[in-house]
Amino acid sequence: MVVVLTDEHKADLALLRELPPAALAEFAKIAVEFLRNGPNPKIYSGAAQKLEVSPSDVKGAVEALSFVFAECAKSNITELDFLDTLLVLAFPQEINEGLKNMYEKYKKEIRSILAELSFGLPHYDNISWRLDVQVASRTLNKQVEPIFTIKLETLEPEPRVQYLQTDIVNLKHIVAELERGLQEMKSAHCRRIIRNVK
Amino acid sequence: FESNEYSSVDSLTLKKAHSGLTGFILEGGKRKADPILMRGVLSDYIKNTSNIDYFIEKYTKVSKELFAYLSTTGFNFPHIVDVNWRLSFHMKSQNLEKENKPLYLVRFDTKKPSPTPLQNDKTSPVEFTCNGWELLDLVQKLKDAAKQFDRVNA
């Protein structure tokens, strides 16, 4: 699949046509920075001075380039499709190659920035356990009760630590149940779905 | 205590007697005292043997239940009683397409120790997501814990 570029995008990106490769790499870096942190007018005016164009042209080019990168990373399109996307701009071959390399370089990072935008469910981080035997308490002396204390660390996305406890019977039940869950992923039904939804 | 049976007795004395008796029962429960010990202590203070017999008879009947009740009274971390899992396939989200990853959602149901055995005081369940490798890690650690217990027990 190919990302569709509007006329506005094409006009904004026309600025990139004349650039040497080093400046192109700079522009790509500024575009990714724009995706991460938002616009940075100082950098735009600096670049505008060097290239002898107006800052608003630079701003338009950066925003259009970051749109191209973001849409392509979002759909995780291949290099070929990326080049097809750029075909419509009628850039010279070296510019296309340069942009393709930049895309490959930043794709993972852009995808992780986009992932931060949507909500995340609490995600498992670590679990540790300890086995204690409760010997006595205020209300009852002379007890023998083994207790497993469990420390569960999750990312929600801030790290969170919870302390839980359980006894041996419940623990065995939990282990058996979760093993059944793991088995489920290896089942034919699951494999079929994973294979066919690529 | 407002009924006619007790009207002849001064209410303050009545309250003291009640709290004294309750305290005595709880102390006996705490030390898991058998009825013979209780009878020995009581006979130092009460001369009426038929009353003592009545009390000891009642105590023997409820002592098992009393010990069980006292063992659960106290403070604890939430106690896991059940686990629920769900396997889903994460395809895409609003901002990111083509994710295509299997995702487990695991939930531990917990229970806090309650003041009365009949009250069902469930704390909020503990939920989290994980991928296959993380679930495997979790299961292996817990399996190891259970194995260690069996080893100690053997």
What is d(CA A7, CA B97) in angstroms, rounded to the nearest whole number?
25
What phi, psi does A40 have (nearest 5°)? -130, 90
Cβ–Cβ contact B31 with A under 8 A: yes
> What ranges in chain A are assigned the alpha helix state H?
7-13, 21-37, 41-51, 55-74, 79-87, 93-117, 168-185, 188-196
- Residue B85 confidence class, pLDDT cut points 50, 70, 90: very high
Please give the average per-residue pLDDT across B80-88, as a whole number.
91
Q: Which two tokens stand for residue A158?
A: 């801030």
Mutation target to probe the A interface, by most A beta carbons within 10 A, among B87, B142, B149 is: B142
Instruction: Give the residue-averaged pLDDT of B97-123.
Output: 76
Per-residue pLDDT tens over the stretch A123-160: 988 999 999 998 888 888 888 889 999 999 999 888 99
More confident residue, B127 or A1: B127
pLDDT category of residue A108 using cuts at 50, 70 and 90: confident
Place of tokens 């009390």: B55
Interface contacts (A, B; CB < 8 Å): 152
Q: Does A1 touch chain B (CB under 8 A)?
A: no
Residues of A in contact with B105 (CB under 8 A): 121
Contacts of A75 in chain B (CB under 8 A): 97-98
Mean pLDDT score across all residues of chain A: 83
Identify the closest residue of chain B to A108 by CA–CA distance: B96
Contact B77 A123 (CB under 8 A): no
Q: What is the pLDDT of residues B32-54, one digit of tens each?
A: 888 888 888 888 877 788 888 88
Looking at residue B50, its pLDDT comes to: 84
Residues of A in Cβ contact (< 8 Å) with B95: 74, 114-115, 117-118
Pick from A164, A139, A140: nearest CA to A152: A164
Query: Using the beta-carbon criterion (under 8 Å), do B91 and A177 form an inter-chain contact?
Result: no
pTM: 0.74
Half-sphere exposure (Cβ direction) of B128: Cα atoms closer than 13 Å:
23
Percent of chain A with pLDDT over 70: 100
